[in-house]
Structure 1
Amino acid sequence: MKQYKMISFTAILSFVLFLGAVVSSINSTVIAAETDITPNAEAAILLDGETGQVLYEKNADTALGVASMAKMMTEYLVLEAIEEGRISWDQDVLINEYIYNLSRAPGLSNVGLTQGEAYTVEELYRAMAIFSGNAATVALAEVVAGTETEFVKQMNDKAAELGLEDYKFVNSTGLNNSSLLGQYPEGTGENEENVMSARDTAKLAYRLLQDYPEVLDTASVSRLEFRDGRSYPNFNWMLPGLIYEYEGVDGLKTGSTEFAGYGFTATAERDGQRFISVVMKTASQEERFSETRALLNYAFSSYSEQEVLEDGFVPEQDSITVEKGKEAEIAIAGEGSLNLLLESGEAENYKPVVVLDEESLTAPVEAGQQVGTIELQYTGEGSSGFIDGDDKMTVPLVTQGSVEKANWFVLMFRGIGDFFAGLWGTVIGWF
């Protein structure tokens, strides 16, 4: 009987150990699935939508076809023209023969437009932003700039102004020029297409949201009800009510051509936290949404705001020399805190470094006088910094009090003391 019990216990123990190994393997697989986010896309990038902090990137600086994601630049220029009063939402736009023919071209995304009929700027903008209407986009380009050729010049000029680096715009729509019925913009090639890097695409989306947040009022609309009597679904199928619905998604722009593959610039917000993601050159409509979902899942589940530099941080060098002052030095400290979106344990990879403007100050010195900066330097692996520069990773380094200038009598005796100290040092040196 004792031998039977021992065998049973051994069998049970073996089973428990085996089960534990299986569970451990499953957990490891789950963890790997959550953290391994390398998307099936030629290029990708993920940003904090509020600060532009880069959270993930893959092949982000290679210029690729962007297709209709280029319409984000058209949206920017239209919204800018509205803001500056150069055009208005209720302004009528007469549909010419070219725009009409383009709206009927087979295989292109378009709403029904009638030649000789007037449509408002708002109607055409909604057709562009919701259903990616190509003819409506060209009509808007002509309204803003007179011709699409001039509008393309404005697109490239604005790209340079926004700090984009790896881009070329050849039309307002993102189509291949060969689809424009022979009327592609002057100075561009018959088979050219717009290109941008994932980083530049994300930067454009970030600036669009920062400068014109009202873009989401239209980008978030799941279906366009147009005056031709038809209902057009948004190509962003992650919006509410569409087949890849994802909580919090309210923009921004899809794109696809044979050259560009399938791309998607998405943005989503939950509990006040917004992210921006870009995937470029995926293999299918479904894949661009599944890869975006994976990026957003990773963002919402893995990142939280953490304080990496507290207000009033005192660096190791906690003072600076003051010349001709009543005191010989003054305390210094950081002014303001720094918060970043980080994964667990990442805060330790950011180190504060003091950068002084000058090695010393000359009295008088005022309280709160900036003497340099405290910069956060990233010592880990992977992405760091911000889409529009790293200046957001610094705080001013300021004086923690004031120092008055010493009077002439004190300065005279200091000078005498310094003279004899130097003389004594010279004498000692002789021996």
Structure 2
Amino acid sequence: MSNIITIAGGGSGHTPGIVLTLLKNQEFFPIKEIRLYDIDQERNHDMEIIIDFLLKKNGSDISLLATLEPKEAFTGIDFVFSQIRVGGIEMRELDEKIPLNCGAVGQETCGLGGFSYGMRSMKGFLELVSDIQEYAPDAWILNYTNPETIIAESVRRKFPNAKIINACDMTISIEELIADSFGYDRKNWISEYYGLNHFGWYKNIYDRTVDKDIMPEIIEKIIQQGFKTDGLENNWVTTYKIMEYMVKKFPTHIPNNYLQYYLYPNIVLEHSDQNYTRANEIMDGRLKEIKETVYQMQNANDITEVQYESDSHGQYIVDMAVSIQNNLNKRFMLIVPNRGAIPNLREDAVVEVPCYVNSKGVEPISLREDIPDFHKGLMEAQVASEKLLVDAFFENSYQKAFESFTLNQTVPNADVARKVLDEFIEANGDYWVELN
């Protein structure tokens, strides 16, 4: 069966990587049409030019449509790949800088910046899901939109029957870092991981080639040798140095690198520039490159004149689509309702654990044993703060938003939480629901 795919957030700079990945997987996941859907006409049009170029250069007969209209975007489709960023890079800049100016972590998915983004994302994403339910209720929604635990919780409450899978490929990046640093082949691994999105730990990493858990030796190598970070951007070099530090101080598990924002916000702040954040790097880098690429493609006399490549982005999400369509029952780390997957964590938490994906959807794998109290305690606080934020969204409650911000473990005290909340309310305007 040939599929019709809609990429929601089609104007994103990650779209070319997704399309190139789709083209490489045509044997297992044939496509007859790709639709780019975005509310930003200029960015969607720019990406239409790039994707049209890639399709022609690869000799593909896949049809391409770019649209701002939900009915046109979703009617008759089979899959939605969602990567929307409500408020764009401009609001991301504020998400990062407002907390930093108040002495707290400024990051797009973690801390109070992540909560600001979460309030915007819930509003925009639930509108997107509503449109999909109206025009394509049987379509699978494969979601990369952040912050994913908050998104997943809000969709669970409003659209409990939506066919949605929430996925994050950060665990893939961590495993690739480990494999590249120490000479492993992660294709031979069966990993056990638990947590919340951007907030978790590896329990073990079983290597089929040696028939044992190799995580103890990986931890020893991280402590003794450190990761190989040659060729990485400076911000990632710093991130992985802090990750090494976390492993040295808590050597029983391998943490998700995003835990730096919760365990060592002091170190993160030392390496943060209040005036030039990651959002500014993207504005000066990727976004300018997209504009330059569009100009070259529009002014080329022949398609062979333009040499364009894109990082392969989206392999994880394409692999899920392949597993659904072909009923492969492949294993992924996904964000799902707990319901006993982590036995000693509250049932209604939204967790990230290994799952099987097949034509019926997602089947979480139970850990079968309790997690350590240290991890449980950190997760319980984070779950509560995220649930309070979702409560605030649905109940239009300023008090619950304040409680949510206060409970976030990157925040030094309640006064900072209130100050940042009030500044975010003003900065976000209609991107947020009204809080009373």
The TM-score normalised by the length of structure 1 is 0.25
Identify which of structures 1 and 2 has the higher relative contact order when contacts are C-alpha pairs closer than 8 Å and 6+ apart.
Answer: 2
| More helix per residue | 2
| More strand per residue | 1
Larger Rg: 1
The TM-score normalised by the length of structure 2 is 0.25
